[in-house]
Amino acid sequence: MMTHAVFIVLYGLVGLLVGSFLNVVIDRLPRRESLLRPPSHCASCGRRLAAWEMVPLVSYLALKGRCRTCGERIPWRVFWVELLTGALFAFLAWRVGPTWALGIYTLYSVILLVIAVIDLEHKLILNVVIIPSIILALLLIPVRRLAGDVPSYHTAVMSLFLPYRLTLNAGQVAAVSQLVGGVVAFLIFLLVYLISPQGMGDGDVRLAAFSGLITGFPGALMAVFGSFILGGIVGVILLLSGKAGRKTAVPFAPFLVVTTFLVMLYGDTALAGYMRLI
Ligand SMILES: [Zn+2]
């Protein structure tokens, strides 16, 4: 029990460091800058940061959110992305435990977080992020099987849709489930995009394919329709509170990112509960 707690804390600390790097990614990718060169510097005066200024959370608080040379504000996002990534890592360590699947879930979570934050700031899903992510998800399908990451209720439901003569083992059914999930989510978003192109970007359609590859079928349906419901609720709240008008473009990726993350971790449990009901 104690070792598990230590593992959660250590993994959370790794998350803080990763979060610090994610801020660099989120800053530089939309500007098409290299992630490696130049080293971390103030975006305003260009002064290279000292090592202590790169310590997650602590440095932001010590500097009171300003560059110590030119006084330029450091975005508040720098702090909360570090905090959120640390919390995310700790949460995943607690939920999944030290397994190969943890590595895969961590990778997916980090990608989803970067996509959500860039979309919030720029209303944009970058091809340089989403295309390699889709390829990665395809390559990881056999790896997830080897890691024993086979959601049992997903495979049970998926088996219903396969021709009964086709004899596949649970791992193979899970692989088919992920491919079908990717295609189904992609097609649903493509349909919405074609019907109302102003409500959604083509980047969202690509993100849907990535989401479906992660969540599989029928998990992808939960992630997709969950994101529509979540987006609808937040949209109504923004309208009623006067924070957005009818024409305001609200970035959609964060909603799909949240539901994808939840289905990735809890989809199988939710499906098990549902199947007990029917
Ligand atoms: Zn500066």
Q: Where are the domains of the chain?
A: 1-98, 125-278
Cα(182) to ligand 1 centroid in Å equals: 44
What digits encode the pLDDT tens for the residues 74-122?
A: 999 999 999 999 999 999 999 999 988 999 999 999 999 999 999 999 9
What digits encode the pLDDT tens for the residues 18-63?
A: 999 999 999 999 999 998 888 888 888 989 999 898 899 999 999 9
Cα(46) to ligand 1 centroid in Å equals: 6
Cα(120) to ligand 1 centroid in Å equals: 24
Cα(74) to ligand 1 centroid in Å equals: 9
Cα(20) to ligand 1 centroid in Å equals: 18
Query: Within 10 A of 46 (CB to CB), how many other CB atoms are there?
Result: 10
Task: Please list the residues that pair with 167 across neighbouring strands.
Answer: none
φ, ψ of residue 99 in degrees (nearest 5): -130, 170
Amino acid found at 215: T
What digits encode the pLDDT tens for the residues 123-179?
A: 999 999 999 999 999 999 988 888 777 777 777 787 788 877 777 888 888 888 999
CA distances from 246 to 93, 232, 236, 249, 253 (A): 41, 13, 10, 9, 19
Q: Give the pLDDT confidence score for residue 242 in this predicted structure.
A: 85
For 28, the 3-state DSSP assignment is helix
pTM exceeds 0.75: yes
